[in-house]
Structure 1
């Protein structure tokens, strides 16, 4: 009997333990579900607050514009918006235009463009207060010029979201260095512009502010990550903008939107106050730089910011003022060029743009020399991908927590989040059929150790020296190369990170680089695209053909490059390309072919 009672007690205890375990498991599961629900609700509220701030700023800006129009009916916004930056600056200086008239004309146009393209994240209403005291900066090189700034640039009291939820509700305690310098030079930063989620993408959409559209074709992306800047300037809502570039983030939107953009040498302009989702990564470096409708505007921006005030605010920036003599030089150049980097085959319109520009340069008396950037596939896989993903993508994935992944980024993020072992398996399985994609999967595993990271940094240095040795062997002044384009269909950039080889190579090398629009896609380009097969004839090449199709009429650019710290020479080369293209357009319009 005692034994039976003992068994009964054991069974009772077991049932009790099972009940406790079951209750504990259910409670834990319920807690997990509740925490996820609560986190989702908090994220939704964060997004709602951000959207409400944007809507309030847009409404107040609209009210300010209407007030000004009613009290100043003599103002002609169309005339003001038609002026180049040089002409606008001249009229502001001589008093034939007032900063108030210019500001409200551009503010009104910005509201109209944003209504069509969704390119702004917030109107900086403090700009209205700055406008009241603008005459204290009358000697500034950018006196009275409204300037748009990319979302990640710190502006006191406003978020720098980078398109991710974890950076919401964290207003900047102070202006970034470049915003301070812009204000000192009389410019009026008046609007922040949209970016893709995480900013490591060349589309332009995020779960907070939505997708931005291309000003030339709403079925196309404006590019990224400075996509809001490209769309706003390309749509006429801003005359000058500040962006950032870690893989083409200034140059790609400029190319897709038909404007000019310039990526200076790293740290030629102060990076202090620019937010990022991969801070600390040192293999591929970011630069801050301008976007505008013409090259002279880019040069004026650089001249204005390369001043003693910036050098004082950030002593890590070499105190090198803008060299106007180099920029204004007219001496013939020895120009390297290539049409295909051997990694991502250019579209027909990209190739034609380069060939036609080469002919114009040769006709103008410049010497064109074939140049092949060495080992681009090696640079992309071993230096770029492994450098940016050195931590196995942990940092960028950490920034994505707490919110949904935007559709424009999903195809790019999914491989990042795979377990390391699975990345290795995919790399092995894909190697016989898709070697490029296989190498990319292997690169996403990162470097694995501090020792390997140091070795990778040394490899980057060695590669830079290799490219510069080839540059010197060819005795080049500058380099002409293709520029990604035309604008892609929405959601394709995340599937085609391979095509950034044309831009990210010069972030890796830390060479100044800029883009100039030179032509538009023709019906013949579209017909030739039907026969496009690519360099590898792999999945990426097939997707690329779909990404750029239906682009007739879209702008196409070329890219101009120089050696580090020769930023003025790069801009001078860009201005020469721009001049020759405009002269050729004028000759054709006058029937002088």
Structure 2
């Protein structure tokens, strides 16, 4: 019977092993589920803390505004809010208005606008502390002016979340360079504004603070990624805002919300102290710039920031002060233009806005020259990123090519980089393309360029499906050309009727989606885009002001 005992022992050993393996597997599975729950719980807790901080700041601001109104019942808030930045600044300088009256007026309006549009991430209650010694900065170009700042711009003691949970509960240890310069110039940063998750979308919503709405139509997006800025400025809650732009992130919200926005040449303004979800990316550079109701306001912010104090704080920024002579120049311009980039057919209202602006410029004595960006499809495949495996991109490229050549080309050219040499080659390709465009620009002897701007504002949930339409703003990030937008018209019923026959340049799924995205836009603002060569920011702004002037005179 020894063999029976032997097999009993073997069976018992196997049974013990099975029990151990089963127990271990169950424990591992249970541990995995617990870890997943724990991470989810941590994220939820972080989000809740961020929401509580925002709510506390909103309540604190509301109480402060009510107290100021009770103690200063004669303050004409409506008058203050109606002033242009130039008028506001003048009255602050001569003492007609006090910084206290202006700050509390705008803070009150911000609370009202945020209640409708959900555009703010936090009121900066420390702004009240600035009032205590604000007269020390009376000589500053922005003395007493309240300024809103995008969420990713560091303000000491506050998160720069970029709309992602992992960046919560990480308050900035110090102000960013731009915030320091704003304060030195007498400005009062008083609110941070909302962004899309990761700041890599031209929508404006995230799991922390929710979705921001368009001030003209709540069914539409405010644009992104500086969408909170666009909504707040357009809604009247801020007279001057500061955003960032890596693919149209200033210009798209400005266009969608009906205000002016300017993307300077990259590194014209310091990025030191700003947060990002794609730091270290060099092919397309981010740029910080202003959003406001008019071009002169954009210029005032640029003048204030381009000062010795900023150049001292960040020596990597070229010490080039604002050139007022170029901005105020009066010579007639030679202006290149195109009304269809060949990649994304503009909406009827976009085309009309371009045509009407061209006519106004010609009547004013400027010379308009047809121009097109060389090899635009090639350029776009350098910069529109897809986070799919390389083998899947190749498969989809082959599969889609017969039916959707535009989408196929995007997948085919974005297979990633297998080596350092491949990455260097991509950087070299970008450099070559920049020089190719500039050579064509020189051949046409252009001063500046006029082109369409994305618009009108899209219906919610469409931006994530329509990366194709960034073909209008994003090339100028790749090229590092300064570019800005100026609203020139609004969508008419005739535009909406014409949209029914829109087919697009490729008649593919992107064109069909675009038609749906911009539908229902009657009354929404439509802008044009003004562009100049690198470091000719003042000339670009001068061109923008000329467009603005001619449109206002026509009205």
Q: Please give the alpha-carbon distance, in whole angstroms, between the structure 2 residues aligned to 1:66 and 1:446.
A: 56
Q: SS where residue 198 of structure 1 aligns?
A: helix
Q: For 1:388-537, list aligned pairs within 5 A.
A: 389=385, 416=387, 418-537=388-507
Q: Please give the alpha-carbon distance, in whole angstroms, between the structure 2 residues aligned to 1:61 and 1:443.
A: 50
Answer whether contact 2:390 2:416 (CA < 8 A) is retained. no
CA distances 1:499-541 after superposition (whole Å, capped 9, x unpaired): 0010010000000000000000000100111111111110000
Q: Report the equivalent of 1:384.
A: 383
Q: Please give the alpha-carbon distance, in whole angstroms, between the structure 1 residues aligned to 2:244 and 2:335.
A: 26
Q: For 1:498-577, list aligned pairs within 5 A.
A: 498-577=468-547
Q: For 1:101-112, list aligned pairs within 5 A.
A: 101-112=101-112
CA distances 1:342-362 after superposition (whole Å, capped 9, x unpaired): 111111000000000000000
Q: For 1:123-138, list aligned pairs within 5 A.
A: 123-138=123-138
Q: For 1:159-238, list aligned pairs within 5 A.
A: 159-238=159-238
**Per-residue deviation, 1:96:** 0.5
Q: Report the equivalent of 1:259.
A: 259
**Per-residue deviation, 1:441:** 2.9
**Per-residue deviation, 1:445:** 3.6
Q: SS where residue 474 of structure 2 aligns?
A: helix
In the alignment of these two chains, the number of paired residues is 555
Q: SS where residue 198 of structure 2 aligns?
A: coil
Q: Report the equivalent of 2:287.
A: 287
**Per-residue deviation, 1:157:** 0.4
**Per-residue deviation, 1:421:** 2.6
Q: Please give the alpha-carbon distance, in whole angstroms, between the structure 2 residues aligned to 1:453 and 1:483.
A: 31
Q: Report the equivalent of 2:353.
A: 353
1:578 alignment partner, one of 538, 548, 552? 548
Q: Report the equivalent of 2:38.
A: 38
Q: Please give the alpha-carbon distance, in whole angstroms, between the structure 2 residues aligned to 1:356 and 1:448.
A: 48
Q: Report the equivalent of 1:308.
A: 308
Q: SS where residue 14 of structure 1 aligns?
A: helix
**Per-residue deviation, 1:242:** 0.3
Cα RMSD (Å): 0.9
Answer whether contact 2:468 2:510 (CA < 8 A) is retained. yes
| Unmatched segments (≥5 aa) in structure 2 | none
Q: Report the equivalent of 2:19.
A: 19
**Per-residue deviation, 1:272:** 0.4
**Per-residue deviation, 1:107:** 0.4
CA distances 1:327-382 after superposition (whole Å, capped 9, x unpaired): 0011100000000111111110000000000000000000000001011110011x
| Unmatched segments (≥5 aa) in structure 1 | 390-414, 586-593
**Per-residue deviation, 1:425:** 1.9
CA distances 1:21-73 after superposition (whole Å, capped 9, x unpaired): 11111100000000000111110000000000000000000011001000001
Q: Please give the alpha-carbon distance, in whole angstroms, between the structure 1 residues aligned to 2:224 and 2:213.
A: 11
Q: Please give the alpha-carbon distance, in whole angstroms, between the structure 1 residues aligned to 2:413 and 2:208.
A: 30
Answer whether contact 2:311 2:318 (CA < 8 A) is retained. yes
Q: Please give the alpha-carbon distance, in whole angstroms, between the structure 2 residues aligned to 1:6 and 1:543.
A: 73
Answer whether contact 2:449 2:531 (CA < 8 A) is retained. yes
Q: Please give the alpha-carbon distance, in whole angstroms, between the structure 2 residues aligned to 1:439 and 1:25.
A: 45
**Per-residue deviation, 1:296:** 0.2
Residue 328 (structure 1) aligned with residue 325 (structure 2): no
Q: Please give the alpha-carbon distance, in whole angstroms, between the structure 2 residues aligned to 1:8 and 1:116.
A: 76
Q: Report the equivalent of 2:268.
A: 268
Q: Report the equivalent of 1:405.
A: none
CA distances 1:482-510 after superposition (whole Å, capped 9, x unpaired): 00000000011000011001001000000
**Per-residue deviation, 1:443:** 4.5
Q: Report the equivalent of 1:393.
A: none
Q: Please give the alpha-carbon distance, in whole angstroms, between the structure 1 residues aligned to 2:473 and 2:234.
A: 20
**TM-score, normalised to structure 1's length?**
0.93
**Per-residue deviation, 1:449:** 1.8
Q: Please give the alpha-carbon distance, in whole angstroms, between the structure 2 residues aligned to 1:353 and 1:124.
A: 38
Q: Please give the alpha-carbon distance, in whole angstroms, between the structure 2 residues aligned to 1:7 and 1:564.
A: 84
